[in-house]
Chains A and B, each alone.
Chain A
Amino acid sequence: MISLNDCDPGFKFEVAAEPGGAGIKACFACAACSARCPVAGHREEYDPRRIIRLTLLGRREEVLSSPLIWLCSACYSCQEVCPQQVRFTEVLTAIKNLAAKAGYAPPSAKQIAGLLAGHGRLLAVTEFENEKRAELGLPAVEERGADYAAILGIAPEAAEAGEEA
């Protein structure tokens, strides 16, 4: 049972204020999103409509700390079938951004900024890669990690450390 005393009535407004989050207020709970979701087909505990309901009810901690919100594959199927233009893929991105700010991002998500700041790509481009490319007649590619480090506010030394993490 959900006690309204445990709910944060401001949570839905917090989500709606994030980029892409505004659509949540239009949900009328038809569950087209849940029916079309390929993740829900494999994991019944992952239910987009339920995540929307819990958010509208104000179950802030329950939603932000739930490992389920990281199971969206961002395929946009729900978004295509939604009759209310809730844009659930984008709403969930807004929710995940809030969860990350609250410290709930999974370890795999945390490594990404370090890699980008170090290499400007998720994968390093070493001499070995460029030799292989040259053998096939492909032009060399360069790493521009410094730009990414500047955007992300990460010092180059910290970027190296992030890579090890």
Chain B
Amino acid sequence: MRALLFLGCTVPVRNLNYELSARKVAEALGVELQDLAEFGCCGYPLKSTDQDKALVIAARALAQAHGSGLPLVALCSACAGTLAEAEHQLAHHGELRAKVNQQLAPLGLAYEPGVKVRHFMRFLLEEVGLEAIRAKVTRKLEGFSFAPHYGCHYLKPSEITGGFDDPEDPRSLASFIEATGAQAVDYASMKECCGGGVLGADEDLASAMAGKKLAELDAKGVTALALICPFCNVMYEGQQKAIGKKLDLKLKVPVVYVTQLLGLAMGLSPDEVGLKLNRAKPKELLAAFKS
């Protein structure tokens, strides 16, 4: 099984632990991930000011992906959402496609429908399946508890994602966590948005949004908060100290990526899943998996 890996802006620079663990897990599950040197930003950051240009940028990536005949997977939920939405719009609207292709022509590119775009976790769920993942688990993460954070664009809008998991009652990440033998924690603020989308416009607001979840999990006491998006990571890991200061809370919520948990359970070493690169250290895990 093969797929194109779309890294986007943040993952290949700031979240090497996520990228490394995703690549290793894919390899262990028999998924061959291919890179395209031309891939860059998906266009999402331009959407709020110029959605026409954002669509052309997304179409550029889709045009580059099309020739391979492979499905595309993204580690960032915003990339997955943006590219899936662009594919949906362009495949269904001929006029729009013609307009976009006019702007791609000078780059020697043309968009054609047919690239299947998914978040990496959804790809694992649908193409590999939980049963095959469970069969690869050699070291159960028993005794650990992880709080899944679904974020937004992994699930929504369901018109685009096709409702593979219920946005109002999501289960998919919990089922990955349970596949590792760990406990998936259900908690009140589970569906909350991280606030990353408004960090540039209003830091206090973004902090209040992320702080709500961090405060709940800090009080609850979990092994770690488990993420699948580098934007959410900016808020929950990168900004955690600043948020604690703003809200006058001593926050100590360890943060991991779900792919790191899968890797550890499948027998990969902490270094192979980049566990030392986590900044909000999952101390219990590090102690248990001392290499």
Contacts and interface: CB of A to CB of B under 8 A. Distances in A.
Interface stretch (B139-147, B201-209, B256-264): B201-209
B49 A97 contact: yes
A150 interface: yes
A151 to B, nearest CB: 5
Given A73-B193, A75-B152, A150 B107 contact: yes
A123 B38 contact: no
B52 A147 contact: no
Nearest to A107: B200
A18 B152 CA distance: 24
Interface stretch (A8-16, A25-33, A38-46, A48-56): A38-46
Which size class do A's interface residues fall under? 35 or more
Interface of B: 7-10, 12-14, 16, 19-20, 23, 35, 37-38, 40-41, 45-53, 55-57, 60, 103, 106-107, 152-153, 156-159, 167-168, 192-193, 195-198, 200-202, 205-206, 208-209, 274
A73 B57 contact: no
A77 to B, nearest CB: 7
A93 B205 contact: no
Contact of B9 (A20, A113, A123): A123
Contacts of B197: 72-75
Nearest to A147: B107
Contacts of A100: 48-50
A79 interface: yes
A141 B103 contact: no
A76 B107 contact: no
A145 B192 CA distance: 34
Nearest to A106: B201
A136 B16 contact: yes
B156 A138 contact: no
A144 B40 contact: yes
